[in-house]
A and B are shown apart, each in its own frame.
Chain A
């Protein structure tokens, strides 16, 4: 194999694919990136057996062929080469090493055979639809923070995508929860998406997708099978296994009859929560919201080790007085997702889940479990 290409093109592609490669691997081939030269392109591929990222870049091909070399090492080499340099990749005559040449730099990297490299992409993907990158990224951004890291509940370790009918129209909906909070976001279902079964996309895949979806104007192709999802963004193809599990019936969790409405200025509220939670050094401490019928909210944090903090806020509230506590960090996470000027809370009592939404936006909602205060 012999391929010559511009350093910046190679670096960009390596940057996309090398992240998939785990730093520690017991299977040597999984530390490697697959390089395949054919026609006028070089294809790079990396996998951790659950997730695979492939990218094709234009290159001048002297001799078609393929090999694999350590991904992080190749990435580090190319990263350190000067900007604007040209990089030549060539397998040595004895077939043992890949020679990386640029200017006066020369590297010889140990290779492992291309034929040993695992392939995840085989199989049919019966469902296929296209969605604007911005919309797809929006679904991920608004729900990703609520993904659980609890290994025992592996079915919560991802975002649940499905296409229910909401108010008479089919929607593509993303849901994530860790048992303390739940995030739900949706967009009008793209053509062809209705046929999609409910799928749970794992956390690592979600993170990679989020980074790939950085060009808002692009259109993304999504293909789904029973066990895998494939997303094509420009020259990058990401294929991932899905979490094999049943996502809980989340609709049950979304409160329908919370009768106490609270309206807050999103920015002022977020700042106040941030300020008082300074006292809460330890993660997991509660902010108490004390609401009075005349539209006042007192936010309080008490930490027996460090002290206490209180701040008052004018809010829209005229129901019965209520004291309710929430995890400060969870409140901040949700406040960061809200887009409009005002946030609407629907509360029931200090022990029941609370619903939080943007004013005038029904496409995203958040549910937060209160804490004892």
Chain B
């Protein structure tokens, strides 16, 4: 079956405009439709969709999920997008574009719960689900035809309907023969999309696209390529791999392969995040070390909590600051041993912060940890700093108390009394797991 109706799932003829059975124009048709099995599934405006589901009066209103006047947009619904609102846009700018928008503070617990429902449904399609974030994942449906009694394409269309019906949100599917193209495809037909890129047209499809289509090509690298006269993927297709490698090092290989639609990365259900971090944007710009410290401490505790839950320990602590004029500063320090303790993360980040608090005003601070190692070798006892061992024990005791009585049960002296003002003041805290550059972007 090379074409079917996405509404009633009955087979259709290739080239048909509408379904013969139900008259819907939403047809999926492709010459390779029954031979493609790598999918990228991405929920549509996920946070906003969940809020609209829970409050139908919002259905036709522009909804922005994000924090405070000074925060940034985490998700904008499709109505708000018509006005030009985008994720990661500062809130004041978003409200200028769309003054009628309903701004809703993110309710992460709710989104995580819905994300888990979607994930569970994906796992019924195939065990090979590689989650990229709370609301998107790669799926490999190879060899599931007998199980589902249907091609991967049809199984995905059914899945799409099922999520709409049972969970009440919509999602977009990209179907292709590798992760790189599946990811591009899911973005082509959003929202409620179903896009297919087959082997036959992959090269021609990529050729006119900008080089930034290739994951890992950011603004800086794009400018570098532009300086060398390379703007489209098609130009890369015409260049030899060796030549690209000579010019651009390991990125050259990536350019050569991906431009030719070659991506052999498997869908890896155990794919682990490369870093864990938390950051927050302030209501009013801050320059003072004593004002930034408690915030950093709180963020360190969040990161540490995530590490402990995920059974991870990291070596490199990175401090991220955004100045009042939106310049990004990033400072990193390697620890002698991997850690998962808030205390160690905070101490390392704080010593980095000490060099940056020289009167500069900041609008954002973040801390993250990367270079993961086996938590079994994390946080060894120290000969000359017996305090470290005591602090580690204290932290574990605090974790246990929080586990039992909730997060607010015990608080560090440094952050005590700062939390409530932070909340009424409208800070936005955001977690992020960073995997590889190709999968780190906003929600669809």
Which residues of A are at the interface with B, using a C-beta cutoff of 8 A? 148-153, 156, 177-182, 248, 250, 253, 282, 284-286, 304, 351, 353, 367, 369, 371-372
Contacts and interface: CB of A to CB of B under 8 A. Distances in A.
Contact of A149 (B336, B351, B380): B336
Contacts of A353: 383
Interface string B339-368: 000000001100100000000000000000
B384 A179 contact: yes
Contacts of B204: none
Contact of B382 (A179, A250, A286): A179
A282 B373 contact: yes
B374 A179 contact: no
B383 A182 contact: yes
B383 A180 contact: yes
B131 to A, nearest CB: 22
A282 B338 CA distance: 12
B377 interface: yes
Report, nearest first, the 10 A-B pairs whose CB atoms are least far apart. Answer: A179-B382, A248-B384, A284-B377, A253-B383, A150-B336, A179-B383, A369-B383, A152-B351, A179-B384, A369-B381
A181 B383 CA distance: 7
B181 to A, nearest CB: 32
A150 B383 CA distance: 14
10 contacts: A150-B335, A178-B336, A179-B383, A180-B383, A182-B384, A250-B384, A253-B384, A282-B374, A369-B381, A372-B376
B436 interface: no
A369 B382 contact: yes
A153 B348 CA distance: 11
Which label, helix, strand, loop or mixed, suits the secondary structure of the A interface? Answer: loop
Given A150-B336, A178-B336, A369 B347 contact: no
Contact of B348 (A152, A248, A282): A152
Given A151-B333, A152-B351, A351 B377 contact: no
A133 B251 CA distance: 51
Nearest to A371: B380
Nearest to A178: B336
A250 B384 CA distance: 7
B373 A284 contact: yes
Nearest to A146: B383
Contacts of B380: 180, 369, 371-372
Nearest to A284: B377
B392 to A, nearest CB: 12
B152 to A, nearest CB: 32
A218 B347 CA distance: 46
Nearest to B337: A284
A351 B336 CA distance: 20
Contact of B336 (A148, A182, A282, A371): A148
A308 to B, nearest CB: 14
Given A151-B333, A152-B348, A152-B351, A180 B382 contact: yes
A156 B384 CA distance: 10
Interface in B133-182: none
A299 B333 CA distance: 34
A179 B336 contact: yes
B321 to A, nearest CB: 19
A59 B321 CA distance: 56
B403 interface: no
Contacts of B335: 150
Contacts of B381: 351, 369
Contacts of A351: 381
Nearest to B386: A252
B109 interface: no
B201 interface: no
Given A180-B382, A282-B377, A367-B383, 16 more contacts: A151-B333, A153-B385, A178-B336, A179-B383, A179-B384, A180-B336, A180-B383, A182-B384, A248-B384, A253-B383, A282-B374, A284-B338, A353-B383, A369-B381, A369-B382, A371-B380
Nearest to B338: A284
B399 to A, nearest CB: 18
